[in-house]
A and B are shown apart, each in its own frame.
Chain A
Amino acid sequence: MTVICRTPELGILRAAYYFPSETYTIEQWAQLINQPSTLVEKMHAAGLRHYHVAEQESPVELAWQAASRCCAGIDGKSIDVLIVASSAGCSRPPVPLMIHEELRRRLGMRPSGQAFSLVDMHCASLMGAIQLTHRLFALHSDWKRALLVSVDKMYEELTRNIGHHAIQSDGAAAILIERGSASSCCEAVAIRIEPRYAKGFHKPPELQQHFMASYHIVAYGLLSSMLENIGWRFSDVDAFMFPNMNPAPYSALIERAGIHKEKIFMQTENVARHGYANCSDFIVNFADWLRLRGPGERRIVGYASGTTGFFSAVAVTVHEGAVEAGSN
């Protein structure tokens, strides 16, 4: 089931991300947990090179680094809602500590400001949070600003890789959304649910094969429906932002959609440089794109999916030199 939601009242005012300084290579990871050289070769062939590790920093600290960069100079009292979106369920501090509560306090949000976390959509959680922000803004006509923070930290090196397709990095990212922002316009968010894939990596092999075989068809269907809904063609889009993982599975999608390869923003470079930061990837790529973008209005499309049956996309029009970006 797909829901395409027009969200033109939302604009991204700022974007920022943070990666811890400790960087390791694929070889170091393989040595650490005794992985075979054949896997390393496959990961290299997929473009994977480095990943970030938060040795000392908790998920709260990672999230704070991204949120504070995103909200520098912003009065926390002006933020009406804070949503923390995570991919991995382990990316949270020990219960009952909550990342969103810690961020709310540090940002100085007013007592009536809302804060909660959105999980279970895995790598599509950020897009889920954008769509939910649209609905919360419709419910509360006086709300003007939402801060969405994505954070993930792996606690187990054995699960840091996703086959040979991705190496997961610890890191965080944030976007500040403003109602009626002159800086940019979130044209639409599309989310498709395929509940049969709910067991993620634990789904039966034949279902996993079906997932992989039909992936580009589902992704193409989602993207084309969203673009048609807002009156864009694939050729109208200036930059597509896909997750920072093995680009190969996206080639069928790119070919089917007729997307020129130069419009795929930084996927190869960021796969090697940062690794896969789960649902932070869209913000990581968006913030990098903002720094490198050319003059004039631009149209971008971000895409993310979760192995548990979530496919998502967002379309954004960015106006001339308006959105601020930050990173370490």
Chain B
Amino acid sequence: MEPGAEECYPYGTVHLSQESLALLRPKVALHYVEEDTTDSLTEMAVNLAFLHRNACSAAAPDALIFTHTCMPEDVSTSTGNQVIEVLDLACTHSFAVLGTVASAWGHAIECCRALYFGEGSAPTTLLMAGEKWMSPFPRAYGNLFAMSDGMAMALLTQHAPVGEVHLRVQSYGTRTASATPPWLVQPIAIDEMVWLRTVEAGLAELFSDDDLKASANALVLGPVLGIDQERLQEHAPMFSALVRRTTHSEGLHGHFGSADPFIRLQDVLQRNDADMVGRSVIAWSTGPEGDISILTGDIRL
């Protein structure tokens, strides 16, 4: 790259400095179900954005993308427009991307990339990802998943930010099950072996053993799952290798759905560990239907 030239990444970057990315976790584990926050999903987003209004305004985002999987309480309002209004942002794009537990965040990143193109393009997007799991929708799926509440925000930009720690996203992929698993439509338990085989098949399409070996020193981030380790090793050896290498921070229990990778990335980077710069990152997620998504990138300054 020419000195002084601005580096442009095909997948863009995720700002991860403490100033520009934060999380709000009114509750983080299954055992907090009884203590539901009174904040709606929209209020969680607005509160978080307001808390970091200076960083948001300084970044001057052109777009706001909100992503979630859960059913919001206040369906007749626009969460994105409320955040734009409260922060007085000059966004030209505002919409929400809805996806599966594992894929929503990746589709949101894909939409950010798409906004780099065309008239009225948006090189900087404020991405807000969050979940609040409400009755009667299940928070737990057997021992496998305990869905946590949380809200995260990240700035995604086409151009490398100068002097700020950021994640350069290199690739992203997702695979969803080819058939609807019966436990999504009937009140029956997840068949863990079928689920594992589905995840393993999806992972094999996205990532090879060689990829995994080549990224031996990568920081691997993913949700906390309650998988039987023997069964995991036996039925899904590649997924098993990924899970074994995954590091979890204390206090970040369960699965934050669409916000999970952003919350875990932020948690790692807020430690201000200089050794993190230059490290490769693999962030993955999976969900009750057997979907799997995987993102690769590296931390840069």
Contacts and interface: CB of A to CB of B under 8 A. Distances in A.
B205 A6 contact: no
A120 interface: yes
Contacts of A3: 92-93, 119-120
B111 A111 contact: no
A139 B287 CA distance: 27
Interface residues of B, number: 57
Dominant secondary structure of chain A at its interface with chain B = mixed
A138 interface: yes
Interface stretch (B65-73, B230-238, B267-275): B65-73
A91 to B, nearest CB: 9
B32 to A, nearest CB: 19
B67 to A, nearest CB: 9
Interface in A146-197: 159, 191, 193-197
Contacts of B80: 120, 198
Interface stretch (A43-51, A95-103, A267-275): A95-103
A94 B288 CA distance: 13
Contacts, number: 161
Given A101-B100, A120-B94, A193 B81 contact: yes
B75 A96 contact: no
A116 B107 contact: yes
Contacts of A111: 175-176, 178, 205
Given A121-B78, A310-B78, A310-B81, 10 more contacts: A5-B118, A95-B133, A117-B98, A118-B96, A120-B66, A139-B110, A193-B94, A198-B78, A201-B76, A308-B81
12 contacts: A95-B133, A95-B137, A96-B184, A105-B180, A135-B118, A198-B81, A200-B76, A200-B77, A201-B76, A202-B76, A308-B81, A310-B94
**Top 6 A-B pairs, shortest CB-CB distance:** A89-B75, A3-B120, A198-B81, A120-B96, A138-B117, A308-B78
Interface of B: 66, 69-72, 74-82, 84-85, 89-101, 103-104, 107, 110-111, 113-121, 133, 136-137, 175-176, 178-180, 184-185, 205, 287-289
Interface of A: 1-6, 88-90, 92, 94-98, 100-102, 104-105, 111, 114-122, 125, 128, 132, 134-136, 138-139, 159, 191, 193-202, 306, 308-310
